[in-house]
């Protein structure tokens, strides 16, 4: 393909890129590359960690080698103790997160839709969000006792505040011309909500949900440090008090894996709730058919 350059009489050649020649194959190669890059960082960290321990640069009493931690993980898994802790933390997150997410989305959409509601409630929601989450835990212990209920409530409250603020901002920032189009075609309020407002707000809402699920796991693990007889947080804290670093590191790694899995689950839900995004990606990656 030829294109005239800025200099009179000069021409330059524009060559098609790999994505132009075969978009589908290019997208497959990119996914494979990104998958390898995602694993590259943790593998490099583990190799440097192992090299530091075996060379004596890192004190193995405080930073045991990856092989030792892996062996401890196998022992905890085989005995069933690790599954007990993982299930306890997962159960608390699974009970509190959906409640806070649904309530946060609904109230956030309400705040974003009506300016008077934002003026009345958003300052209070923002102020509550800035309160340290674990700072509320003693109060919840006084109200609900020392069982799992305070942990579940704290997860729900933390999730609600984050998602509510994001949903309200997403709706409030919808371009006015999109709403004007709905009014021009005499769309009812219900149609405007489900055809314009909600689809426009969903991307930002799901971004907040991915952040909130990670925060929910952190909140639960933090409460398990303070008051629990099981859970990943209890495993980490109890191992520290007994000066057993191997299970402590196992708990830390497991908490990270739980975060990755939970975030991936929210991503799958996002694909179900916004199928038009997948269709757009499919069309973009589909190879052009010869005419």
SS3 sequence of 197-249: HHHHHHHHHHHHHHHHHHHHHHHHHHHHHHCCCCCHHHHHHHHHHCCCHHHHH
Separation between Cα atoms, residue 134 and residue 215, nearest integer Å: 12
Query: Looking at the 3D structure of the chain, how many domains does it have?
Result: 2
- Per-residue pLDDT at 191: 85
Which of 17, 47, 63 is where one domain is finished? 63
The reported pLDDT for the residue numbered 288 is 47
pLDDT digit string, tens, across residues 185-195 = 777 888 888 88
Determine the average pLDDT of the residues in 224-241: 93
Same domain, 79 and 124: yes
pLDDT at residue 245, rounded to an integer: 92
Lowest mean pLDDT among 11-15, 77-81, 231-235: 11-15
Report, as an integer, the average pLDDT of 166-177: 90
Q: Does 138 share its domain with 177? A: yes
Domain final residue pick, 63, 87, 112: 63
Is pLDDT above 70 for 231? yes
Residue 151 has pLDDT above 80, yes or no: yes
For residue 290, tell me if it sits in a domain. Answer: no
Overall average pLDDT of the 62-88 stretch: 94
Residue 2 has pLDDT above 60, yes or no: no
**9 and 76 inside one domain:** no
Residues 190 and 77 in one domain: yes
> What's the start-to-end Cα distance of the chain, in Å?
19
* 220, burial (CB in 10 Å: exposed 0-12, middle 13-18, buried 19+): buried
Do 142 and 159 lie in one domain? The reply is: yes
Domain match, 42 and 90 both: no
- Sign of torsion over alpha carbons 214, 220, 226, 232: negative
CB-based contact 104:161 (threshold 8 Å): yes
Distance (Å, rounded) from C-alpha 287 to C-alpha 21?
A: 8
Long-range contact pairs involving 29-34 (C-beta distance under 8 Å, separation at least 24): none
Could you list the residue range(s) of the whole structural domain that residue 53 is in? Answer: 1-63
Last residue of a domain, one of 63, 86, 112: 63
Which domain CATH number covers 126? Answer: 1.10.3720.10
Residue 240 located in a structural domain = yes
Are 127 and 199 in the same domain?
Answer: yes
Write b or e for each residue in 157-174: b if 16 or more Cβ atoms lie within 10 A of its Cβ, otherwise e: bbbbbbbbbbbbbbbbeb
Q: Are residues 193 and 176 in the same domain?
A: yes
């Amino acid at each position: 393909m030829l294109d005239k350059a800025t200099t009179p009489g000069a021409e330059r050649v524009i060559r098609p890129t790999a994505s132009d020649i075969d978009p589908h194959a290019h997208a497959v190669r990119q996914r494979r590359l990104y998958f390898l890059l995602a694993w590259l960082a943790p593998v490099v960290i583990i190799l440097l960690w192992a090299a530091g321990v075996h060379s004596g640069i890192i004190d193995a009493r405080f930073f045991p080698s990856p092989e030792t931690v892996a062996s401890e993980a196998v022992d905890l898994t085989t005995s069933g103790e690790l599954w007990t802790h993982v299930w306890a933390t997962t159960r608390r997150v699974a009970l509190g997160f959906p409640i806070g997410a649904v309530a946060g989305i609904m109230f956030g959409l309400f705040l974003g839709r009506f300016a008077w509601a934002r003026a009345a409630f958003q300052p209070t929601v923002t102020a509550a969000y800035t309160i340290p989450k674990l700072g509320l835990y003693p109060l919840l212990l006084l109200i609900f006792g020392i069982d799992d209920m305070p942990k579940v409530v704290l997860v729900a409250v933390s999730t609600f505040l984050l998602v509510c603020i994001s949903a309200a901002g997403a709706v409030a920032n919808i371009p006015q011309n999109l709403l004007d189009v709905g009014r021009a075609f005499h769309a009812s309020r219900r149609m405007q909500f489900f055809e314009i407002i909600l689809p426009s707000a969903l991307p930002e809402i799901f971004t907040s949900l991915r952040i909130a699920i990670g925060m929910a796991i952190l909140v639960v693990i933090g409460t398990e440090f303070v008051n629990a007889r099981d859970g990943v947080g209890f495993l980490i804290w109890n191992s520290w008090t007994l000066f057993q670093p191997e299970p402590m590191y196992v708990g830390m790694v497991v908490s990270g894996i739980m975060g990755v899995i939970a975030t991936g689950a929210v991503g799958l839900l996002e694909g179900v709730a916004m199928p038009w995004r997948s269709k757009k990606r499919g069309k973009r990656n589909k190879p052009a058919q010869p005419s």
